[in-house]
Structure 1
Amino acid sequence: MRIREASEKKMAEAVSPITRQVYSEHRAVRSPSVDFRLEDVEDCLIYDRHGVSDPFKKLYQDRKSVIIFVRNFLCYSCKEYVEDLSKIPKEALEDADIRLVVIGQSAHHHIEPFCSLTGYPHEIYVDPERCIYQKLGMKREEKFTDSANPSPHVKSGIFMGQMKSIWRAMTSPAFDFQGDLHQQGGAIIAGPGSHVHFSHFDMNRLDHMPINWLLQLAGVQQTLDFSDKPKIVHV
């Protein structure tokens, strides 16, 4: 009996809290360890939808921030990921006292159309020179592995998704791909100050950090449902 109790106690002590469990499993499978210092990018300029610039450190200096770097605004997987980010209630972020920020790498005039397309209501900026992407060591080119888990937020297949991206590029007022096509994105949780709580750099277009995991790691208590629920159609 004592042996059994000791065994159960040892197993209980070995179980990590949910945030640590998600962190370790996710990083082990999806992303190698990356060493960087936010001090190296704190003065890189980011631009809002009006073209007004601010230093990157403004985003995390006074508050914890979840910062999502997307590939480009025409990327179908980024569009669908940001569409799910748009479903996060502002109240959930306010209750946890965190900021949610999306950063792209296009010119600033692409921000407004992208927000209209995705319904994204939270903070968004661009890094058109890819200063932050490069200095943080975010990947260029894509790497697909058997162990990588596809993003639960991307609903389109690769072929149809790419066709949608090309069509949006062809029909946009300024024909461009709104960023470097080879640049991959990522996510960090940082602040207040230059402390990095978590980082994940995408290996490919489908290697997004699941949003609920990110929110849990940042301290959001609410779990959100991003699944496509069946709808009843009355005929």
Structure 2
Amino acid sequence: MRRKARTASKAENRPRFWGRHAVAAALQNPERTVAKIWVTREAAGSFEFGRDVPVTYADAADLGRLVPRDAPHQGIVAEVERLPDIWLADILDGASERRPLLVLDQVTDPHNVGAILRSAAAFDAIGIVTQDRHAPPESGALAKAASGALETVPWVRVVNLSRALDEIAEAGFWRVGLTGEAEMALGEALGPPRVALVLGAEGEGMRHNTELHCDALARLPISDRVESLNVSNAAAIALYAATVA
């Protein structure tokens, strides 16, 4: 897969990942450079560290000072380089007919994006597409929520989401935007096998211009006992619906 060139990041800009799933996945990803590892001797036996990865043994209390307060580090912390950027065309070219694509319109909460990545991995999505400036950066919280999926699900960051949606349509995808105000239920909106599911930000939903770049608008048929679902829950349900349609 071709990737955009990225200038070398400075050490102070490197994210720190914690937790066994997030760190193990980072170590197994050939695209990821792991710059440094801190680990307890008890946890170290569960990992295979490359010879070129500096490893420092530390107590659990010392690891706690390397991560946000009360972060569940599970005995290991890794400092990593951010993944190289991916071109949108690379994930569209040759994509399987039945694999969905996710497009996120200004979803900024790292826990939600991490959970969406995890669902995308579970339902074999092609990848996720976000704006570059209105999406969270790679972080320990996001990687922890993704439970390893940050390393396996392609994440494309674009400058202009409307142009990206045009490119997605040109690649043969049926673009379905999820909004609670739509008259049509999601099951009715799903038709062509290549589907791109578009979800908006927490609270605000999709922007009007994003809606205009969708082929159909649909809602999830939820009970009136709740106003809406969390965007990560909505993404998981929509992915399942698209997979079994």
TM bucket by the smaller chain?
0.3 to 0.5
Q: Which has the higher contact order (CA 8 A, sep 6+)?
A: 1
Q: Give me the TM-score of the superposition, normalised by structure 2.
A: 0.34
TM-score, L = length of structure 1: 0.35
Name whichever structure is richer in helix by fraction: 1
